[in-house]
Structure 1
Amino acid sequence: MAFERYVALGDSFTEGVGDADPSRPNGLRGWADLVAGQLALASEDFGYANLAIRGRLLRPIIDEQVGTAVAMRPDLVTIYAGGNNLMRPKVHFDELAADYDEAIGRLAATGARILMWTAYDGSWAPVFGALRGRWAVYNELIREIADRHGATIVDFWRFSEYRDLRMWDDDRLHLSPAGHHNMALRVLDVLDVPHTLPLVQLDEPVPLTPAAQRADDRRWMREFLIPWVGRRVRGLSSGDGITPKYPALTPIGV
């Protein structure tokens, strides 16, 4: 199937944080741009909008992005939302699910193909193991919502290649360029779309000694985790002042 109007919704995951490209809006590329570039090869009238903004919780994503997306009459919508909610001290799962279900219902009413993501199981990494139960509950809710509205799941929970830290940015919260590229491959496979993207090639990893790994973990906590918690406490967001990369349907190259 050739798509002509692709709208990407969500937070930093979809905006492309972790895959820097100064030539693109917001200085980012990301998996959604890569997917759009491949989809554009099959249609002369292809348009792509990316409304995602880093740091957004589910409710702002719905309020700021869903209505705009519906008005574009998309034939493909990708949405990953709720991940930032799961990182907050308290999560109201019933409210989260009800809001997400209502949003997917509005998007499904357009007749578009809809892709939704499960959360990734990062419990193998330091600190994140305590959140595994939250991610599992969230994923079951996502699967129910997808079933109810005929959406397609991109099952990030089961993507074992992301156990390699090279698939992640230094902050361990966002995908690296390799991680974004691999996600684009995963999405194109789910859509069953032929493409020209090569497979991700990684050099052999250099193993760290236990002492070096502990030192790296301490560095990560000092440089990324503690500042992230500090922003949450002060009510700040990395998305403050950020605007969407592609707020309207736009032609895009590979």
Structure 2
Amino acid sequence: MSDTDHVLPRVGDDVNAGPHPWRRFVAIGDSFTEGIGDPEPASPGGHRGWADRVAEVLGSQVPDFAYANLAVRGRLIGQIVAEQIDPALALAPDLVTLCAGGNDIIRPGADPDTVASIFEDAVVRLAGTGATVVIFTGIDVGWQPVFRSMRGKIAIYNENLRSIADRYDCVVADQWALKEIQDPRFFDADRLHLNSLGHHEVARMVLRALNVPNDLTPMQPDPYPVTTWRTARASDLVWARTHLVPWVLRRLRHESSGDRITAKRPDPAPVQFLAPGRDAAAERGEQV
């Protein structure tokens, strides 16, 4: 692609007047970008996620669009920088999304300023190519009792990220302000990863940040189930046994959920289009 093919928009530019300018999208990150919590057998790696959903919209609007996803669950920011930045640059993207640091920030003793410094080094390299770079703030966890104590550290990290975005003209995908997903019905059973509803809402937010018109509409969760205090505490015990304890044991053993996982879309390829949200299985005639 030559420099004269199109001019990439700067933050705040209105690109709604015509087709979006991007032809090669590369997503970098951890489980959030891999799509964990949003299972979809028809997607590479068995997970769909917000990045796949964004790529489907972008690919439907322009010809010759290709999408790669290098994200791997469990990766710390140092691993993401070491394992994904060079391969991403080699793919010559004109649109890059980078969400990293969340797995570091939730660890005891993590310094949000140190994590942000590593993040900035990655942004410098990506932005230096002229690609549009999208970065993500962390989710506001004030409503989650288990993670509420981390809220202040996440907020500090977010302010660092906003400053980085200002310095390098990045697009900010603001999850902190995305109130729709501050609801347990938008999260997977592990209470850490978004489910299909959550990934759908993040995709809509990213497309808004990019000023890309689309027909994705809000998805309504099922009503809150009627439950008792005893039932809720029993559910908490099941969650702790099924998800929290294995997570703690992996930390103690210096293991990661992504130790034997590779990127689901290491090479840019055309996008397979699925129906919005939870309708993909219905399109194939399967039980939803």
Asked if TM exceeds 0.5, the reply is yes
2:200 is equivalent to residue 181 of structure 1: yes
Runs of 4+ in 1 over 6 A off after TM superposition: none
Q: CA RMSD in A?
A: 1.3
Which structure 1 residue ranges, 5 or more long, are not aligned? none
Residues 13-92 of structure 1 mapped to structure 2, 5 A cutoff: 13-92=32-111
- Percent identical: 48
Whether the aligned pair in 2 keeps the contact of 1:18 and 1:176 (CA below 8 Å) is yes
Structure 2 counterpart SS, 1:111: coil
Displacement, 1:204? 2.3
Alignment counterpart, residue 237 of structure 1, candidates 252, 256, 264: 256
Displacement, 1:127? 1.5
Return 160-169 or 207-216, whichever deviates more: 207-216
Report the equivalent of 2:157: 138
Higher relative contact order (CA 8 A, sep 6+): 1
Kindly provide the CA deviation profile for residues 223-247 of structure 1, in whole angstroms up to 9, marking residues without a partner as x: 1111101111101100011110110
Paired with 2:126 and 2:71, the residues of 1 have a C-alpha distance of 15
Report the equivalent of 2:245: 226
Paired with 1:145 and 1:210, the residues of 2 have a C-alpha distance of 44
Paired with 2:266 and 2:75, the residues of 1 have a C-alpha distance of 16
Kindly provide the CA deviation profile for residues 51-88 of structure 1, in whole angstroms up to 9, marking residues without a partner as x: 00000000110111111111222111111100000121
2:108 is equivalent to residue 108 of structure 1: no
Paired with 1:208 and 1:106, the residues of 2 have a C-alpha distance of 50
Number of aligned pairs? 254
Which structure 2 residue ranges, 5 or more long, are not aligned? 1-19, 274-288
Relative to the length of structure 2, the TM-score reads 0.85
Whether the aligned pair in 2 keeps the contact of 1:6 and 1:75 (CA below 8 Å) is yes
Paired with 1:207 and 1:139, the residues of 2 have a C-alpha distance of 35
Report the equivalent of 1:160: 179
Displacement, 1:173? 0.7
Report the equivalent of 2:11: none
Paired with 1:92 and 1:31, the residues of 2 have a C-alpha distance of 28
Paired with 1:160 and 1:215, the residues of 2 have a C-alpha distance of 28
Paired with 1:209 and 1:154, the residues of 2 have a C-alpha distance of 37
Residue identity in the other structure for 1:58: I
Displacement, 1:155? 1.1
Residue identity in the other structure for 1:117: F
2:194 is equivalent to residue 194 of structure 1: no
Paired with 1:207 and 1:20, the residues of 2 have a C-alpha distance of 26
Structure 2 counterpart SS, 1:222: helix
Paired with 1:179 and 1:106, the residues of 2 have a C-alpha distance of 30
Whether the aligned pair in 2 keeps the contact of 1:2 and 1:39 (CA below 8 Å) is no
Displacement, 1:119? 0.7
Paired with 2:269 and 2:118, the residues of 1 have a C-alpha distance of 29
Displacement, 1:163? 2.1
Return 46-55 or 192-201, whichever deviates more: 192-201
Residue identity in the other structure for 2:249: G
Residue identity in the other structure for 1:199: P
Displacement, 1:121? 1.3
Paired with 2:104 and 2:262, the residues of 1 have a C-alpha distance of 20
Structure 2 counterpart SS, 1:6: strand
Larger Rg: 2
Relative to the length of structure 1, the TM-score reads 0.96
